[in-house]
Chains A and B, each alone.
Chain A
Amino acid sequence: MSITTASQTIGPYWHLLPFEGWNDLTRFGATGDVITITGRITDGTGAAAGDCCVEIWQPRPEVENFDGFGRAATDKDGGFSFTTLRPEPVPGVHGRLGNVQQAPHVGLTIMARGLMKALQTRIYFEGDAGHDQDPVLNLIEDPARRATLVAKKTGAAAYHLDIVLQGAGETVFFAI
């Protein structure tokens, strides 16, 4: 068996990769229930993490011209934003967690200087049904920690999530 290639940090100069406009997942012409997701990333001192590469992935909805992928750069204040289609529930997980359908969510990947490996987690959305039964949210016992994955509803179709890389209020990150 071969061994997976080692991860290295994305470093401070990853902006040489294209990202402008990539935070709009409708840019190829997808239409539907459009939402905006904003976020802000801070570090263990509470300072803005202003050089992160943030990506989202959502397998649903399956509609034309929608590939479910977006990329954004955090600004000086640690902020980022995405425009996307409202995610739908996805099938659950077989095995010990039962086959309960999962609440709508997007996968989130954060890469940055000072991160030797990507951080991965999910964003769920305040007000959606199914959070109490969600097999991933239910792995997190502490309600305060569970809440780190749920974006606050800030408008009819707008959500915001604060992400803390380290320390008090640290976001729950995943090993997959």
Chain B
Amino acid sequence: MSDLRAFRPLVPGTQPEYDADVYGSTKFRAPKQQLLQVPTSLTEATGPQFSPSRYPSIIDISKVESGEAQGQRIVVEGQVTDEDGRPVPHTMIEIWQANSTGRYHHDGDQHDAPLDPHFQGAGRVFTDENGMYRYISIKPGAYPWRNHHNAWRPNHIHYSLFGPGFATRLITQMYFDGDPLLKYDPIYMCIADAGSRERLVAGFDLDLTMPEWALGYRFNIVLRGRNATPFEDSNDHGDH
């Protein structure tokens, strides 16, 4: 039996707005109309479920068959929970990133930095029964973009998560502790709430670090939590 409880509304200020002047590409893509608040039904409360049998894991993207990627090897571990701290088990996480020089293995990326024949830059992992995930990669380089004069993206790894429902779909980016570019980055800075920004920054973790092999970073992710009772319609607040 599917869990049909609605998801709680997001806390104001903790998510970026669509319209963000500092990020130029939002100008003609951010919707101008107010979003339509819709109730949660089967379509929103449930969502696609993935299994490694059809979507095989790619846990170590620091190498390909022909050899090892250049750069600082890292291991990233974390837990995926909901807002009530309950682990989100067996959920798929997709990651993608630039190589150590700050270049994506993508035709659209013409940044003058070398491609690495041993780095493709995409992985896929599943959380275990406790919501824990782990993968191995190399630390991505910073790269320039044309948003404004001398604009550079801080080092980051892109994340895609589905969670239990259509309404829990999340695309985000993981940043690295101590990166001096963070405070100049419109994509990071357009989240109003400082705490919500800081939670996108992975901390260095000596316990995760593997001797003579890889630096460890911890990055936990929180997906939306559900209302306490089934069919509680978040729309109803203030209506009666």
Contact = CB atoms under 8 A, between A and B. Distances in A.
Interface in A31-55: 43-45, 47, 49, 51, 55
Contact of A57 (B48, B160, B172): B48
Interface residues of B, number: 83
Nearest to A8: B173
Contacts of A28: 54
Contact of B96 (A13, A51, A94, A109): A13
A3 B25 CA distance: 27
Interface string A109-120: 101111111111
Interface string B86-114: 00000000101010000011101100000
B36 A173 contact: yes
A136 B98 CA distance: 41
A97 B193 CA distance: 34
Interface in B41-89: 41-44, 46-50, 54, 81-85
A7 B191 CA distance: 9
A88 to B, nearest CB: 11
Contacts of B43: 57-59, 90, 102, 105, 107, 122
B225 interface: yes
Interface stretch (B128-136, B208-216, B231-239): B231-239
B120 interface: yes
Interface of A: 1-18, 28, 43-45, 47, 49, 51, 55, 57-59, 67-69, 90-97, 102, 105, 107, 109, 111-120, 122, 135-136, 139-140, 165-167, 170-176
Interface of B: 2, 7, 10-11, 14-18, 20, 23, 25-33, 35-44, 46-50, 54, 81-85, 94, 96, 98, 104-106, 108-109, 120-122, 158, 160, 166-167, 169-173, 187-188, 190-191, 193, 195-197, 199-200, 221-225, 230-233, 235-236, 239
21 contacts: A3-B196, A3-B222, A8-B171, A8-B173, A8-B187, A15-B106, A16-B120, A18-B122, A57-B48, A59-B43, A93-B233, A94-B231, A94-B233, A95-B236, A107-B44, A107-B166, A112-B29, A140-B36, A174-B35, A174-B38, A175-B38
